Amino acid sequence: MTPVRILPAMLLCLLPVCVLAETAEEKALAIAVEADNRDSGFVDYTNDTQMILRNKQGQESTRLIRSKTLEVDGDGDKSLTIFDEPNDVKGTALLSFTHKEGPDDQWLYLPALKRVKRIASDNKSGPFMGSEFAYEDITSQEVEKYTYRYLRDDSFDGMDVFVFERYPIDEKSGYTRQIIWMDKEHYKERKIEYYDRKDTLLKTLLFTDYHQYQDRFWRAHVMYMENHQTGKSTRLLQSDFKYGTGLIERDFDKNSLKRAR
Amino acid sequence: MKTLLIAVIGLLPLANSQAGEWRGYVELEGTAFFEDPAFPEQSNSDLSIAAEPEYLQEWNDGDDIFTFKAFGRIDQRDNNRTHGDLRELSWIHAADDWEVLAGVGKVFWGVTEAVHLVDIINQTDLVESFDGEEKLGQPMIDLSLIRDWGVVDLFVLPWFRERTFPSEDGRPRFAIPIDTDDPLYESSAEQHHVDFAARWSNSIDEWDIGLSYFYGTSREPRFVILPSAIDPVAGTVSETNPLYEIINQASIDLQAIYGSWLWKLEAYTRGGQGDRFSAAAGGFEYTFVGVRESAIDVGVIAEYLYDGRDDEIGSTTIAAGTPFSTSPFQNDLVLGTRITLNDMQSTELLVVGIIDLEGNGQTFSMEASRRIGNDWIVALEGNAFSNVPENTSLVSFRKDSNIRLMLTRYF
């Protein structure tokens, strides 16, 4: 988000040694920063999400959610997520403040009790609504939450891609590392492999059906997460992206959480 | 009250409104008791059906919301539990730095698990559940002022709701039948007494803080035995009447989050029911996230409960006409666990034990639930009372250990 982060790398490049000295770490960080820059400045958006959970036996269950997201200068995004299905959680709402540094803040609103519950920030590795997506997979992916290492250039699905690893800084993360396949044209993720704490391949996420909004921002309409250890999978379908909807901070406070329907 | 409702309905949007939406549930409930009842009017089982339809309508991009929510139950045994209630009939309007709710609504304050001390706006619908978590709709105007330094809520509560109590056929119930038809009030305005409340709340880093003040009719009654209820020959008491006094109560609720630790505190000081007294509950919930590389979360709950009042209902020294209170948790320890499977069916289990540190018995409760398909929830609840001595309010329930199965269809 902030150009400040890239400054040390740029300053370094003013020195003559730079030419031959960009390390794998610096190269991957520069890619992550560029991807973040290309995706910043959206201000706000809303969208609908359908999640189709599938277990090993092939039984399916559907979740419907609506989300509002607000970009915050100098910090992580704020988001408000309202659950529409299953019916027993209808009206339940989740308010998240992501932070570049330190744990995120999360509050859950339970409409039957009219109660706002603070959620322990350590549960980031837990499943989101019983799906194969962990909280940390779906919250705002801030550059500062990882360190990086470049692996190689490759091709994926006919596209030229960067392949790099990132390592979560938070020790409460469920992962030791993730391998990212990112296309060189738009700097968007095409595939992520997640490795668990024992460094065994846990999940693979595929991004397809990208659409461009505001002539700038690319959003994957289909995300498919497969858990290799349990045989379960989740297909996440995103639709109805609307940008520049005029959301303000006030739409992301605890009063707005209680008003979510 | 009536004018308030007319005002709310009058504000319903007309032609340009977005479509409204119905939601809610229908629930079938069966309860079985392990022992024969303590009182001859009671039974060993109970069947019941309940429904809670809700209608919502938003307009002005969600800045205005109309809510209607009704509740009704038919109970096989307890006439008092066969009841209906207007849970909500309200209009909410949100502006940049303020919000108003007018009509019948529900407000929750508090953080602790075992008791809800500071939660005072709505009356408890005690026939619904003995843990006091179900509430009656409360007529109110709630003005929220949203500032950088927190949110100030100002409440005007123009009508008082009486607490519901089980009838003589209900189980569990208090040993002395409660005459809910003839409650006593300190204020001559009775139910028309206008109550007030104010609250400041804020989230500061890891802390969630609330400071509240209430002046008005106590939601929690004391009880009085009228001379006419005493049979001097047999030495028996036929009934007791709830006494609703005017109280002033200041309270704090505090929560701090540090990693997997949630630290909680609720406390109040109350004047107006005999001598001023205080009550407090505090403790923690620690969550082990993803135990043994699974998706399962295991929470450990520990809370300490304090109440400055004596538990007088079991006392044999209650004099006719002297108000007495029923508060079983003077010096109690709460231990519990919350197990969340985080599976497709949202399977959850909560087990809580409350141990009286003065040796006055233990109560245990269990709640388990699981989704079936997309629209059904099956839930199992259990309550057990053990080692309850004669001189406490819990003695009324000593034979009422039970198990309850609920099947709920959401729409």
Q: Is the pLDDT of residue B130 over 90?
A: no
This complex has an ipTM of: 0.89
| A61-113 confidence digits (pLDDT tens) | 999 999 999 999 889 899 999 999 999 999 999 999 998 888 888 999 999 99
Residue B18 φ then ψ, to 5°:
-75, 160
Q: Whole-angstrom Cα distance, residue B124 to residue B116?
A: 11
Give the pairing type, strands B261-272 and B274-288: antiparallel
Cα–Cα separations (whole angstroms), residue B279 to A249, B108, B223: 37, 18, 19
Provide the residue type at B236 as one letter.
T
In a domain, A38, yes or no: no
Q: In whole numbers, what is the pLDDT of chain A averaged over residues? A: 89
Q: Measured between beta carbons, which residues in chain B are less than 8 angstroms from residue A250?
A: 96-97, 146
Asked whether B314 and B326 are in contact (CB, 8 A), the reply is no
In a domain, A29, yes or no: no
- The owner of tokens 């030419």 is A19
Q: Measured between beta carbons, which residues in chain A are less than 8 angstroms from residue B140?
A: none
What is the token pair recorded at B6? 């007319």
Cα–Cα separations (whole angstroms), residue A42 to A74, A140, A143, B46: 14, 13, 17, 58
- The answer to whether the Cβ–Cβ distance between B346 and A130 falls below 8 Å is yes
| B189-241 confidence digits (pLDDT tens) | 999 999 999 999 999 988 999 999 999 999 999 999 998 888 888 878 889 99
pLDDT of residue B14: 46
Of A88, A130, A198, the CB nearest to B343: A130
* Position A2 confidence tier, pLDDT thresholds 50, 70, 90: very low
Q: Measured between beta carbons, which residues in chain A are less than 8 angstroms from residue B208?
A: 118
DSSP single-letter state for residue B192: G
Give pTM, 2 decimals: 0.89
Q: Is the pLDDT of residue B99 over 80?
A: yes
- The answer to whether the Cβ–Cβ distance between A123 and B295 falls below 8 Å is no
* Position B131 confidence tier, pLDDT thresholds 50, 70, 90: confident
- Sort residue B44 into left (φ over 0), alpha (ψ -120 to 50) or beta: alpha
| A182-231 confidence digits (pLDDT tens) | 999 999 999 999 999 999 999 999 999 999 999 999 999 999 999 999 99
Interface check A235 vs B, CB under 8 A: no
- The answer to whether the Cβ–Cβ distance between B374 and A62 falls below 8 Å is yes
Q: Whole-angstrom Cα distance, residue B112 to residue A5?
A: 42
pLDDT mean over A133-138: 90
Ranges of beta strands (E only) in B78-137 are 83-94, 98-105
3-state secondary structure of B138: strand
Residues linked to residue B371 through DSSP beta bridges, in sequence order: B377
Interface check A102 vs B, CB under 8 A: no
Q: Is the pLDDT of residue A21 over 70?
A: no
Q: Whole-angstrom Cα distance, residue B282 to residue B267?
A: 8
Q: Verify cis geometry, omega within 30 degrees of 0, for the bond prior to A86.
A: yes
- Quick one: CA dihedral A80, B52, B244, B129, positive or negative? negative
Of B144, B374, B377, the CB nearest to A61: B374
How far from the centroid of its chain's Cα atoms is residue A32's Cα? 13
Q: Which of A175, A180, A176 is nearest to A164 (CA)?
A: A180
Other beta carbons within 10 Å of A204: 16
Asked whether B50 and B404 are in contact (CB, 8 A), the reply is no
pLDDT of residue B78: 96
What is the token pair recorded at B389? 């001595």
Q: Is the pLDDT of residue B350 over 80?
A: yes
- The answer to whether the Cβ–Cβ distance between A250 and B96 falls below 8 Å is yes
* Position A142 confidence tier, pLDDT thresholds 50, 70, 90: confident
Of B62, B201, B289, the CB nearest to A126: B289
End-to-end CA distance of chain B: 31
Task: Give percent of chain B above pLDDT 70.
Answer: 93
Question: How many Cα atoms within 13 Å fall on the side-chain side of residue B84?
Answer: 6
Cα–Cα separations (whole angstroms), residue B403 to A132, B62, B235, B366, B379: 34, 42, 35, 9, 11
Q: What is the count of residue pairs from A and B with beta carbons less than 8 Å apart?
A: 100
Instruction: Kindly tell me the burial class for residue B238, based on how many C-beta atoms sit within 10 Å of its own C-beta (0-12, 13-18, 19 or more).
Output: middle
Q: Is the pLDDT of residue B317 over 70?
A: no
Q: Which of B89, B94, B88 is nearest to B59 (CA)?
A: B94
Of A91, A113, A123, the CB nearest to B287: A123
**Structural domain total, chain A:** 1
In a domain, A247, yes or no: yes
Q: Measured between beta carbons, which residues in chain A are less than 8 angstroms from residue B375?
A: 86-88
Q: Whole-angstrom Cα distance, residue A9 to residue A74?
A: 19
Which domain CATH number covers A196? Answer: 2.50.20.10
pLDDT mean over B254-281: 95
Q: Measured between beta carbons, which residues in chain A are less than 8 angstroms from residue B23?
A: 87, 90-91
* Position B6 confidence tier, pLDDT thresholds 50, 70, 90: low
Interface check A8 vs B, CB under 8 A: no
In a domain, A64, yes or no: yes
pLDDT of residue B66: 96
End-to-end CA distance of chain A: 31
Q: What angle do CA B81, B394, B190 make, to 5 degrees?
A: 55
* Position B88 confidence tier, pLDDT thresholds 50, 70, 90: very high
The domains of chain B are located at: 2-270+374-382+395-410
Q: Whole-angstrom Cα distance, residue B240 to residue B236?
A: 12
Q: B402 vs chain A: nearest CA distance in angstroms?
A: 24
Of B289, B343, B371, the CB nearest to A122: B289
pLDDT of residue B356: 92
Q: B279 vs chain A: nearest CA distance in angstroms?
A: 21
3-state secondary structure of A111: coil
pLDDT of residue B140: 98
Asked whether B308 and B269 are in contact (CB, 8 A), the reply is no
- The answer to whether the Cβ–Cβ distance between B289 and A172 falls below 8 Å is yes
Q: Is the pLDDT of residue A35 over 70?
A: yes
Asked whether A76 and A100 are in contact (CB, 8 A), the reply is yes
pLDDT of residue B3: 55
pLDDT of residue A101: 84
Q: A168 vs chain B: nearest CA distance in angstroms?
A: 16
Q: B189 vs chain A: nearest CA distance in angstroms?
A: 30
- The owner of tokens 């269990």 is B366
pLDDT of residue A151: 96
> What is the span of the domain harbouring residue A73?
44-259
Report the residue of chain B nearest A245, measured CA to CA: B61
pLDDT of residue A10: 52
Q: Which of B213, B326, B323, B219 is nearest to B275 (CA)?
A: B323
Q: A256 vs chain B: nearest CA distance in angstroms?
A: 9
Q: Whole-angstrom Cα distance, residue B387 to residue B353?
A: 13
Q: Which long-range contacts (CB under 8 A, 24 or more apart) does A38-42 make?
A: A38/A186, A38/A187, A38/A216, A39/A217, A40/A1, A40/A71, A41/A71, A41/A216, A42/A71, A42/A214, A42/A216, A42/A217, A42/A243
pLDDT of residue A22: 84
Q: Whole-angstrom Cα distance, residue A251 to residue A258?
A: 11
- The owner of tokens 């005017």 is B246
pLDDT of residue B2: 52
In a domain, A171, yes or no: yes
pLDDT mean over B94-110: 96
- The answer to whether the Cβ–Cβ distance between A126 and B410 falls below 8 Å is no
Q: Which residue, among A105, A114, A232, would best test binding to B if mutated, counting the most B CBs under 10 Å from its CB?
A: A114
- The answer to whether the Cβ–Cβ distance between A86 and B345 falls below 8 Å is no
Q: Which residue, among B26, B261, B344, B378, would best test binding to A if mutated, counting the most A CBs under 10 Å from its CB?
A: B344
Interface check A171 vs B, CB under 8 A: no
Other beta carbons within 10 Å of A53: 22
Helix (H) or strand (E) holding A93: strand A93-97
Q: A23 vs chain B: nearest CA distance in angstroms?
A: 34
